[in-house]
Amino acid sequence: MARVSEHQIEEIRRRADIVEVVGRVVPLRRAGRAQVGLCPFHQEKTPSFHVNPDRQIFKCFGCGKGGDVVKFVMEYHGVEFVEALRLLADQAGIQIQFEIGGSEEPKGLREQLFAINAFAADWFRRALIDEHAGAIAREYLHRRGVDPEMSRRFGLGFAPDSWDDLADALRAKGFTAERAADAGVLVKSDKGTYYARFRGRLMFPIRNTAGKVIAFSGRTLIAGEKAKYINSSESRIFTKGQNFYGLDLAVDGIRRANRAILCEGNLDVIMLHQYGFTESLAALGTALTEEHVRRLLRSTNNVFLVFDADEAGQKAMERAMDLFANTDVEPRCVILSAGDDPDSFLRREGADAFAARVAAAPTVIEFVVNRAFAAQTADATGRAKAVNALVPALARIHNAVLQSTWIRQVAERARVSEAAIRHEMRTLRRPRPEAAGASRPDTRETPRADAEKGILKLMINHPRFAFTFDEDRLIDLFTRPDLKQLASLVVERCLESQDDRDMRVAELVGSLEDSELQDEIAGWAMDEDRIDEADADLAYAEFGRRLATEFAKRRFDAVADELERARRDGNEGREMELMVEKRRLRARIDELAREGSVVS
């Protein structure tokens, strides 16, 4: 896994101006000290999306999303942290070195790999439009009904059936064969010579969200060739099991439609785009992975799976269901008749018919349940078999409410008791690694959490409170673990900061992993929420008082319990001590209450 040093992250953050980065994709206008525009993350008619140039953060007061420049790129392009850094570095013209397993890669390696892929894409493209060489590929595309406009948009090309032509062309351009093999377009033979990986194939460039070619997928056009599709080998810029075909062109469509249509084949993606479903993409390679799912869910929670109706497609569907089972997202599946894929369906029935299938798409679990019953006879034996086939799928549903709903439905259809199904589920349940480990920290909203957040917000906007906070050891009064951790981070940053009027919020936000906390902090740090110094003092005192009260009350209850026990045990010495402590706490609580009535 590539790592970027803290130092480099800081540099990228410093040089990538958030107004510029956001402004490239969201039209912004000035409003006071902030810049506002229509939020790219939700549909709206009046702008509630704010970018603060001073603090280098964004916040949407409509949907709540917020954070620093890196988070914006992650959310907008649907990419992971490191890739977001790469995009920002590319835009700002910063060369970043990624540490890989402790050693640094040769300077500019990534740039060379991009350049080789770009050159190869262009070379394949020329071969496709070449009158003689490309005829076979053009014929194929024509037969499949691919518009020339789509062919251009997806950058399709043709790799002639030659072992040396591409290698020669690369050399003539000054690329070494060794690097071209690193890029995955050439292969090194046992004899040490290099030859073309793709021969006699229709070429589909795979591009990242910045539109750069990172690899190729090639479909054979030679009858009798065993491997129908092959992909570039892995490289520094291409990791299998993470990339989608068509993602670069689908990003906008997914955002607009707020849904993604995930299909199996490259040509399916192209045809779906051709028929107006520009939110379509395909997982590269054969199987969908957890990484794919994670990336997809960054962009939308509405996922439609279109898999072939054959056995392999069904297996792929069940696998997809497993991958989504750990999320709270329920994908839907678009069902086509046996023998159909999106390509053949669209050409025969048209876009409206496909849209209707999407609109009527059942959730995957619904589909799996229906299929299990349909595959068996309707008598008791058949129904029992269907239940047995479904038990593993039911056991994997992560969301408890959803799970119990489906257990009930399956029980009713099979005319068995829910208890029987639950019993079967228990017999196959093995402890999951995450279930065995720590439970999720308690992040429920309580009045105490409000006070904790209130203090954090004040410290962020008025860093002088960090000193008071530190001296009074207010952190000991915090109870929510994530907020407690955040508080010590904020104090650290505030105390470090030379300018006590403004801490570097973007850095703070960027250092957090919890996306929801990032959203929240970005909101606290917006100008709109700043209050004047005198009001801030009052608010700070009030939040501090509430925390102290809560703390004293918790102590009071604990002491009262212990006192009960001491009385029961007849431990008179301890009883006296506890009575004194209890009285002291009572007085403290009353005192805090009086202070509160003075303030309010």
61 binds Zn ion (CB under 5 A): no
Q: Which stretch binds Zn ion (CB under 5 A): 54-62, 112-120, 389-397, 445-453?
A: 54-62
Residue in 313, 166, 165, 134 with CA at minimum distance from that of residue 232: 166
553 binds Zn ion (CB under 5 A): no
Burial level of 99, CB count in 10 A (0-12/13-18/19+)? middle
285 binds Zn ion (CB under 5 A): no
586 binds Zn ion (CB under 5 A): no
Q: Which stretch binds Zn ion (CB under 5 A): 63-71, 174-182, 284-292, 368-376?
A: 63-71
Distance, in Å, from the CA atom of 575 to the CA atom of 489, rounded to the nearest integer, reads: 41
Smallest separation, CB 50 to Zn ion (Å): 10
For β-strands 2-3 and 99-100, DSSP reports them as antiparallel
Q: Which stretch binds Zn ion (CB under 5 A): 31-39, 282-290, 342-350, 425-433?
A: 31-39
Side chain identity, residue 354: F
Whole-Å CA distances, 189 to 54, 177, 178, 183, 414: 56, 12, 11, 15, 59
Given candidates 18, 22, 39, 303, which one binds Zn ion under the rule CB under 5 A?
39
Smallest separation, CB 519 to Zn ion (Å): 10
Side chain identity, residue 482: D
Given candidates 9, 60, 250, 283, which one binds Zn ion under the rule CB under 5 A?
60
Query: Listing from the earlier edge strand, what are the strands of the sheet with 49-52?
Result: 28-31, 34-37, 49-52, 57-60, 66-67
Specify the residue, 387 or 509, whose C-beta has the smaller distance to Zn ion. 509
Distance, in Å, from the CA atom of 496 to the CA atom of 132, rounded to the nearest integer, reads: 68
Specify the residue, 39 or 185, whose C-beta has the smaller distance to Zn ion. 39
Smallest separation, CB 444 to Zn ion (Å): 25
28 binds Zn ion (CB under 5 A): no
Given candidates 63, 94, 136, 560, which one binds Zn ion under the rule CB under 5 A?
63
Residue in 271, 272, 298, 289 with CA at minimum distance from that of residue 358: 272
The site for Zn ion, by CB under 5 A, has a size of 6
Residue in 459, 471, 481, 475 with CA at minimum distance from that of residue 539: 459
Given candidates 14, 42, 371, 567, which one binds Zn ion under the rule CB under 5 A?
42
Q: Which two tokens stand for residue 4?
A: 């970027």
483 binds Zn ion (CB under 5 A): no
Q: Which stretch binds Zn ion (CB under 5 A): 58-66, 88-96, 305-313, 548-556?
A: 58-66
Distance, in Å, from the CA atom of 88 to the CA atom of 72, rounded to the nearest integer, reads: 11
62 binds Zn ion (CB under 5 A): yes
Site map for Zn ion, 396-435, x if CB under 5 A?
Answer: ----------------------------------------
Q: How many residues does the chain have?
A: 600
Whole-Å CA distances, 569 to 449, 555, 574, 579: 37, 21, 10, 15
3-state SS, 199-248, equals CCEEEEEEECCCCCEEEEEEEECCCCCCCCEEECCCECCECCCCCEECHH
Q: Which stretch binds Zn ion (CB under 5 A): 56-64, 86-94, 201-209, 243-251?
A: 56-64
Smallest separation, CB 45 to Zn ion (Å): 12
Q: Cβ contacts of residue 393 below 8 Å, gap of 6+? A: 318, 321, 365, 368, 369
Smallest separation, CB 62 to Zn ion (Å): 4
Specify the residue, 41 or 245, whose C-beta has the smaller distance to Zn ion. 41
41 binds Zn ion (CB under 5 A): yes
Specify the residue, 13 or 50, whose C-beta has the smaller distance to Zn ion. 50
Please report, as ranges, the residues that interact with Zn ion according to CB under 5 A: 39, 41-42, 60, 62-63
